[in-house]
Amino acid sequence: MSKTLLKLLLVAAVGLAAAFVAFAYWRSLPLPLPDGIASGNGRIEARLVDVAAKESLRVKEILVDEGDLVEPGQVVARLDTNTLEAELAEANANVASTMEREAVTNASIVRRKSEMDLASIELERARKLLERAAVSREEYDQRTTHLEVTKAELAEEQAKLRTVEQEVKAAQASVATIQTRIDDATLKSPVRGRVLYRLTEVGEVLAPGGKALTLVNLEDVYMEIFLPSEQAAKVRIGGDARVTVDHAPGRAAAGYVSFVSPEAQFTPKQVETRSERDKLMFRVKIQVPEELVHSYIERIKTGVRGVGYVKLDESAVWPDWLQDLLAPLAKPEGVEPSPPEESAARDSPSPVAEQDLSEADATTRPEDE
């Protein structure tokens, strides 16, 4: 092979490599957006929820592990309640005792009322006899005094009854309080989500407020992007938005703008020149609808990088590559199939999307708004 041919082949190879690199770079460039639409880099995020103990108790059982999907109200851990159950038994015994005292007091009231009725009858009889001089004034006065005494005794028993009734209520409230403490020792998930961290083990004692688990709240999935002030001022709360992820650029998820920060970030609070004002960036939150998240909940993970798009002009039209949207599934992933008679009654299922929203495992806690 001549040197000239070798040089030509080498030049051709270099040219092909340069063309390939240029093509790859061109493919990596973001597609142009129509006027009235803005975009920003972001990542799929979700709020974190801590499952914690209300008081100091020993961990008896942990029912989930990291990565498990949990539903609202699902029991995720149990704490030892032997001491509380002993207190509950004592409180129940106190309720029974006070209720017995209430019954005894009621019986005393019935007896005092009967004695007062009898004393009234005897006094009336003595008054008639006194008019006919059949009894002495002394006996009449004794009957009068006896009636007053029985009235006082009845009032005393009624006062005791009111006191005992309050004691019964207090004892019942104590039972309810202890029962609530026992119920709180059964830790439940407040949201639909995934276990991110298991922070305790069986046998450990949690302090009041001690965290047992940290959950990723999959009922609140969103992406945050940052836009310059000129664009952020045009974003409407509730406006149409789109979310894409890097690993599946051909599919988008429909969302809406749920928050636009009133404060700029990354720059000093006080600026003087126009060029400095142009550097101000405002946080914009794009919320992913809950029904869409629920459909793909088995594949949703937070921390995945992507791009968020928002409309600055409501009349703007989304480009074709942002109109291939994920659709909610007729039956969410991970849900057991329904009986035939129930399935027949449902509408035909929506098309199943080929890609999910996210596939990473980095999760961060969002800033407080």
Q: How far is CA 250 from CA 8, 27, 28, 52, 179, in A?
A: 39, 13, 13, 41, 54
Per the domain annotation, does 306 fall within a domain? Answer: yes
- Domain containing 159: what range? 82-183
Bridge partners of 64, per DSSP, are none
Nearest to 138 by CA among 147, 149, 126, 152: 126
Handedness of CA 195, 200, 206, 209 (dihedral sign): negative
36: left (phi over 0), alpha (psi -120 to 50) or beta: left
In the chain, the number of structural domains is 3
**Residue 318 sits in the same domain as residue 246:** yes
pLDDT for res 353: 35
pLDDT for res 344: 36
Per the domain annotation, does 161 fall within a domain? Answer: yes
**Residue 62 sits in the same domain as residue 196:** yes
pTM (2 d.p.) = 0.66
pLDDT for res 367: 40
Sheet holding 57-62, edge to edge: 186-188, 75-79, 57-62, 205-206
**Residue 225 sits in the same domain as residue 323:** yes
pLDDT for res 268: 52
Per the domain annotation, does 12 fall within a domain? Answer: no
**Residue 103 sits in the same domain as residue 191:** no
Per the domain annotation, does 147 fall within a domain? Answer: yes
**Residue 86 sits in the same domain as residue 73:** no
| pLDDT one-digit tens code per residue, 306-323 | 999 999 988 889 888 888
**Residue 127 sits in the same domain as residue 41:** no
Domain-ending residue, one of 136, 171, 206:
206
Handedness of CA 259, 263, 267, 273 (dihedral sign): positive
pLDDT for res 322: 85
**Residue 152 sits in the same domain as residue 37:** no
Per the domain annotation, does 176 fall within a domain? Answer: yes
**Residue 59 sits in the same domain as residue 132:** no
Per the domain annotation, does 75 fall within a domain? Answer: yes
**Residue 329 sits in the same domain as residue 354:** yes
**Residue 311 sits in the same domain as residue 353:** yes
> Could you give the CA distance from residue 299 to residue 356 in angstroms, rounded to a whole number?
6
**Residue 198 sits in the same domain as residue 247:** no
- Which residues of the chain are modeled with pLDDT < 50? 26, 29, 271, 335-369
> Could you give the CA distance from residue 224 to residue 261 in angstroms, rounded to a whole number?
10
**Residue 224 sits in the same domain as residue 336:** yes
The count of residues in the chain is 369
pLDDT for res 119: 86
Per the domain annotation, does 213 fall within a domain? Answer: no
Residue 131, classified by CB atoms within 10 Å of its CB into exposed (0-12), middle (13-18) or buried (19+), is exposed
User: What CATH number corresponds to the domain at position 328?
Assistant: 2.40.30.170
pLDDT for res 278: 55
Per the domain annotation, does 25 fall within a domain? Answer: no
> Could you give the CA distance from residue 131 to residue 133 in angstroms, rounded to a whole number?
5
